[in-house]
Chain A
Amino acid sequence: MNPRFFTPVVLGLVLLFLIGPFVIIVAASLSAGETLAFPPQGLSLRWVFKVFEVESFRASFGVSLFLAIGGTLTALVLGVPAAYALSRYKVPFGETVRTIVSSPIIVPGIIVGLALLRYLVVPFQFGILPALFLAHTALILPYAVRVVSASLGNLRSDIEEAAVLLGTSRPGAFFRVVLPNIRGGVLAAFILGFVTSFNQVPVSLFLSGPGVRTLPIDMLGYMEITYDPSVAALSALLAFMSMGIVFLAERFLGFSRYV
Chain B
Amino acid sequence: MSDAFLSLENLTLAYGDTVAVKDLDLTIAQGELVAFLGPSGCGKTTTMRAIAGLLNPKAGQIRLDGIDITRVAANKRAVGLVFQSYALFPHLNVFENVAFGLRLRGMSGKALETKVEAGLASVGLSEFAGRRPAALSGGQQQRVALARSMVMEPKLLLLDEPLSNLDARLRLEMRTELQRVQKASGVTMIFVTHDQMEALALADRIVVMLNGEIEQIGTPEDIYNHPKSAFVADFVGFENVFALEDGKLKTDKGPIALSAPAPDVAGLAWRPGMVTLGTGPFEGSVRGTSFAGSTREYLLDTPLGAIKAEADAALALHDLGALVKFDLPVDKAVQLQRFG
CB-contact partner of B100 in A156, A158, A166, A169, under 8 A: A166
Contact call A163/B80, Cβ cutoff below 8 A = no
Contact call A162/B81, Cβ cutoff below 8 A = yes
Count of A residues near B, CB < 8 Å? 19
- Name the interface residues of A140-187: CB closer than 8 Å to any CB of B: 155-156, 158-159, 161-169, 172, 176-177, 180-181, 183
List the B residue with the shortest CB-CB distance to A183.
B91
Per-residue interface assignment for chain B, residues 62 to 86, with 1 indicating a CB less than 8 Å from any chain A CB and 0 otherwise = 0000000000011101011101010
- Name the interface residues of A201-223: CB closer than 8 Å to any CB of B: none
Contact call B87/A162, Cβ cutoff below 8 A = yes
Q: How many A-B residue pairs have CB under 8 A?
A: 62
- Chain A residues with Cβ under 8 A from B101's Cβ? 166-167
Which 6 A/B pairs are nearest by Cβ-Cβ distance? Answer: A166-B101, A162-B87, A167-B104, A158-B87, A180-B91, A159-B87
- Chain A residues with Cβ under 8 A from B286's Cβ? none
* B90, CB-defined interface residue at 8 Å: yes
Contact call A166/B83, Cβ cutoff below 8 A = no
* B152, CB-defined interface residue at 8 Å: yes
- Of B52, B53, B81, B149, most A-chain CB atoms within 10 Å: B81
Question: Given A166-B101, A166-B148, A181-B90, do A161 and B83 touch, yes or no (CB 8 Å)?
Answer: yes
Contact call B89/A158, Cβ cutoff below 8 A = no
- Chain A residues with Cβ under 8 A from B73's Cβ? 169
Enumerate chain B interface residues (CB-CB to A < 8 A): 52-54, 73-75, 77, 79-81, 83, 85, 87-91, 100-101, 104-105, 145, 148-149, 152
A164 to B52 CA separation, bound complex (whole angstroms): 10
A166 to B54 CA separation, bound complex (whole angstroms): 12
Interface of A is mostly: helix
* Further contacts, 11 of them, CB under 8 A, given A162-B148, A166-B101: A159-B90, A165-B74, A165-B149, A166-B149, A166-B152, A167-B104, A167-B105, A168-B104, A169-B75, A181-B90, A181-B91
- Chain A residues with Cβ under 8 A from B148's Cβ? 162, 166
Contact call B104/A165, Cβ cutoff below 8 A = no
A225 to B240 CA separation, bound complex (whole angstroms): 95
- Chain A residues with Cβ under 8 A from B83's Cβ? 158, 161-162
Contact call A177/B75, Cβ cutoff below 8 A = no
- Of B87, B145, B149, B152, most A-chain CB atoms within 10 Å: B87
Q: How far is the CB of B53 from chain A (nearest CB, A)?
A: 8
CB-contact partner of B54 in A156, A161, A176, A183, under 8 A: A161
- Chain A residues with Cβ under 8 A from B52's Cβ? 165
A155 to B87 CA separation, bound complex (whole angstroms): 10
List the B residue with the shortest CB-CB distance to A158.
B87
Q: How far is the CB of B104 from chain A (nearest CB, A)?
A: 4
Contact call B85/A158, Cβ cutoff below 8 A = yes
- Of A161, A166, A169, most B-chain CB atoms within 10 Å: A166
- Chain B residues with Cβ under 8 A from A166's Cβ? 75, 100-101, 104, 148-149, 152
- Chain B residues with Cβ under 8 A from A181's Cβ? 89-91
Q: How far is the CB of B200 from chain A (nearest CB, A)?
A: 28
CB-contact partner of B89 in A159, A164, A172, under 8 A: A159
CB-contact partner of A164 in B75, B88, B91, B152, under 8 A: B75
